[in-house]
Amino acid sequence: MTKKPQTSKEAAEKVVKNIRRKTWQTYSAEEKIRIVLAGLRGEESISVLCRREGIAESLYYSWSKEFLEAGKRRLSGDTARQATSPEVKDLRSESLALKECVADLTLENRLLKKKA
């Protein structure tokens, strides 16, 4: 099996795609917050801010929406309380005891059914 030779256009597109993939920038949570807060301050337009940061405006608006929704959830108290380590240990031991109880009852039930 021989491969079809690539045209120069296909080769060029492949090179550009690889360059874009390698120069793809990921933003940490702190950077996203900094950018969103700069936009919320309103000192410069969103388009200027996005151009300076090298991001698309749609990306800025999605980050902004996520940021505001997270703040809304936190302020309304919808977040789940984090369990402490002793609580987790207690719940795990209780769960294990209940599983053992169910296993014992299931076994007893099967034995009774076989006798009948």
pLDDT at 86: 86
Say how far apart CA 39 and CA 61 lie, in whole Å.
10
pLDDT at 10: 87
Tens of pLDDT along the chain (116 residues) come to: 555 556 788 888 888 888 777 777 788 999 999 999 999 999 999 999 999 998 999 999 999 999 999 988 888 875 566 667 888 889 999 999 999 999 999 999 999 998 87
Instruction: Tell me the whole-structure pTM to 2 decimals.
Output: 0.50
pLDDT at 60: 96
Task: Kindly list the domain boundaries of the chain, sorted by start residue.
Answer: 27-79, 81-116
Q: Are 38 and 47 in contact (CB under 8 A)?
A: no
